[in-house]
Amino acid sequence: MAKTPETTQADAQPETAARNVKMVPGRQPPEEIYVDGVSGILGRGGVIKLDCFRVMGIDRDQAEIRTVTHRLVLPAGAMPGLVRLFQRMANVGRDSAADAVAAETEADKDS
Q: Is the separation of the CB atoms in 11 and 87 below 8 Å?
A: no
Of 2, 29, 18, the closest CA to residue 100 belongs to 2
pTM confidence score:
0.64
pLDDT digit string (tens) for the chain, length 111 residues: 444 444 444 455 555 455 788 999 999 999 999 999 999 999 999 999 999 999 999 999 999 999 999 999 999 999 999 999 999 999 998 988 888 888 888 777 776
